[in-house]
């Protein structure tokens, strides 16, 4: 069974809602052979990260950057990764009050250094969550999980 590691920083009800939408997609009953593991960014260990086959990342946009929690996760992994993450798929959702561009750019840069492969452009949500934003997160979760599907 392959492992999708969902690494998130969800300090607000808004981000918790986006996380739940993404998990709904990742746990779609048509997706088989994928073990979904959900970890807050501050408690996710490098060992858990390196064991995973793909990643779904969620963060607020804080002062034009990814959250410090997600940055901490990247920092931990960058120092222990020996190329094992090359070409593993990832997806990203970001929520911001007025802008998400800096956070997306920062995460994509760190993911590039790790050698991860983006499966689609980030889901960027600014302001209030709308039905299309929830649906985009659900689709993102399903897409990343489907990338890891194995035949049973």
For residues 25 and 92, give the distance between their C-alpha atoms in angstroms, rounded to a whole number: 13
- The mean predicted confidence, pLDDT, of the chain is 93
- The average pLDDT across 9-29 equals 97
Closest CA to 137 of 94, 90, 74: 94
User: 29 burial class (0-12, 13-18, 19+ CB within 10 angstroms)?
Assistant: exposed
Q: Which residue has the higher pLDDT, 125 or 79?
A: 125
Question: What's the confidence (pLDDT) of residue 80?
Answer: 73
Tell me what the mean pLDDT of segment 26-32 comes to: 97
Q: Does the pLDDT value for residue 27 go beyond 70?
A: yes
Q: What is the pLDDT of residue 152?
A: 46
Which residue has 């039905």 as its token pair?
131
Q: Read off the pLDDT of residues 50-78 as tens digits, 9 standing for 90 and up.
A: 999 999 999 999 999 999 999 999 999 88
Place of tokens 């990260």: 49
Tokens of 120: 């689609």
- Sequence-separated contacts (24+) of 104-109 with Cβ below 8 Å: 104/61, 106/65, 106/66, 106/71, 107/57, 107/59, 107/66, 107/70
Q: Which residues of 123-150 are buried (b: 16+ CB within 10 A; e: fewer)?
A: bbbeeebeeebbebbbbbbbbbbbbbee
């Amino acid at each position: 069974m392959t492992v999708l590691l969902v690494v998130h920083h969800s300090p607000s009800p808004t981000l918790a809602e986006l996380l739940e939408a993404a998990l709904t997609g990742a746990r779609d009953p048509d997706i088989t052979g994928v073990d979904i593991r959900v970890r807050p960014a501050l408690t996710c260990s490098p060992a858990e990260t390196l064991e995973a086959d793909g990643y779904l990342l969620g963060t607020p946009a804080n002062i034009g950057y990814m959250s410090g929690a997600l940055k901490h996760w990247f920092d931990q992994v960058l120092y222990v990764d020996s190329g094992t993450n090359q070409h593993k798929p990832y997806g990203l959702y970001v929520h911001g009050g007025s802008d998400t561009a800096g956070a997306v750019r920062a995460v994509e840069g760190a993911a590039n250094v790790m050698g991860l492969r983006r499966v689609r452009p980030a889901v960027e949500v600014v302001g209030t969550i709308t039905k299309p934003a929830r649906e985009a997160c659900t689709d993102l979760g399903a897409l990343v999980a489907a990338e890891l599907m194995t035949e049973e």
